[in-house]
Amino acid sequence: MRHRHTFIVTLLLALLLAACARRTPAPSPEPTVTPRPTVPIRPTSTPSTQAPPAMQGVYPVDLLTEDGVPIRGDYYRPIAKHAPGVVLLHGIDHTRWDWQLLAVRMMAQGFATLAIDLRGAGESGGQPNDPNRLADVDAAVAFLKAQAEVDPANILLVGANDGSWWALKYASEHSDIRGAALITPGIRYDERLLKQVMAAYGDRPIFIAVSDNPAIGDDNAVKVARLLDELAAGPHELVILDDNAWGIGLLMQENGLAARLLDWMEDMEQIP
């Protein structure tokens, strides 16, 4: 009996060791965050005259405004030389990520595109009610002008909702901006103010799009869009749609608006 007991114990121990040997190790957990490039492209005070090697991709950038606010952005760098530069400005309750699909299309068509989180939004510093967002736009424009593949004399601004105001206001104060596109302009209807701003904007091209769908009920944006179009002294295009969407969302519909905006941007190359 003693030998039999020893045999049984030995057999059980052998079976246990065999089972442990066959057990596969537990897989390592999948990463929860998509890896991003760790080396940002930063603006330089004296841009290189040599264009860097062609590289298609998206790069995170960290900017610092004149008043010391850190601004986070994504640079969609095209395979191109002398590329037009585009700054994308989101509206309230949105971030730079909302531009992603459109920004990729812009990059594919040769536009050097920078989408930023305005102060107080997304990953940028500052407060959302800070009125000095023109400084954010200034930092973004300076970044694009500093990139060797960008034509510094060909910078466009695209704004959605209240981002439209920062685009229009900045362009009105900086004559080196080639043009501005305003999507569902979230601008207070003030005829006197808008006349002043558009007079300063001058005869540069402007693109305006809005939806007049009653379900949205944004009569202010429609009125502002029509007034800006009337006040435009240069080439202007007004697109009025009937979609139940506004701002960046209006560009995501199957209404052809994104294609019309890109066509307008490309037509800018033909305007002296």
DSSP letter for each residue of 5-71: HHHHHHHHHHHHHHHHHHPPPPPPPPPSS----SS-----SS--SSPPPP--EEEEEEEE-TTS-EE
8 occurs within a structural domain:
no
Mean pLDDT check: name the lowest of 39-43, 126-130, 159-163. Answer: 39-43
19 occurs within a structural domain:
no
Distance CA 267, CA 263 (A): 6
135 occurs within a structural domain:
yes
Nearest C-alpha neighbor of 225 from the set 242, 244, 212:
212
> What's the length of the chain?
272
Residue 7 pLDDT exceeds 80: no
User: Mean pLDDT over residues 65-90, rounded?
Assistant: 95
Nearest C-alpha neighbor of 171 from the set 151, 150, 197, 149:
197
254 occurs within a structural domain:
yes
Q: Residue 216 is part of which domain span?
A: 55-270
* Residue-level pLDDT at 57: 81
* Residue-level pLDDT at 246: 84
User: Mean pLDDT over residues 175-181, rounded?
Assistant: 97
Q: Give the pLDDT band (50/70/90) at residue 31.
A: very low
Q: pLDDT tens digit string along 202-221?
A: 999 999 999 998 887 778 99
Distance CA 267, CA 250 (A): 21
261 in Cβ contact with 238 (< 8 Å):
no
Q: Note the pTM of the prediction, 2 decimals.
A: 0.80
The larger pLDDT score, comparing residue 121 to residue 56, is at 121
4 occurs within a structural domain:
no
CATH code of the domain in which 220 resides: 3.40.50.1820
Q: pLDDT tens digit string along 244-260?
A: 888 999 999 989 999 99
* Residue-level pLDDT at 272: 65
Residue 69 pLDDT exceeds 70: yes
209 occurs within a structural domain:
yes
* Residue-level pLDDT at 79: 86
16 occurs within a structural domain:
no
What order do you get walking across the sheet with 70-77 strand by strand?
57-64, 70-77, 112-116, 83-89, 150-160, 177-183, 206-211, 236-241
* Residue-level pLDDT at 268: 80
- Residue 48 CB burial class (10 angstroms; 0-12, 13-18, ≥19): exposed
Distance CA 3, CA 149 (A): 85
Residue 19 pLDDT exceeds 80: no
Distance CA 146, CA 149 (A): 9
How many structural domains compose the chain?
Answer: 1
Distance CA 96, CA 85 (A): 16
* Residue-level pLDDT at 40: 36
* Residue-level pLDDT at 68: 95
Three-state DSSP state, 1? coil
224 occurs within a structural domain:
yes
The larger pLDDT score, comparing residue 155 to residue 49, is at 155
Mean pLDDT check: name the lowest of 14-18, 56-60, 120-124, 140-144. Answer: 14-18
Q: Where are the beta strands (DSSP E) in the chain?
A: 57-64, 70-77, 83-89, 112-116, 150-160, 177-183, 206-211, 236-241
* Residue-level pLDDT at 56: 52
The larger pLDDT score, comparing residue 133 to residue 271, is at 133
Residue 142 pLDDT exceeds 90: yes
71: left (phi over 0), alpha (psi -120 to 50) or beta: beta
Residue 70 pLDDT exceeds 80: yes
Three-state DSSP state, 215? coil
Which residues are CB-contacts of 34 (< 8 A; sequence separation ≥ 6)?
none
Q: Give the pLDDT band (50/70/90) at residue 271.
A: low
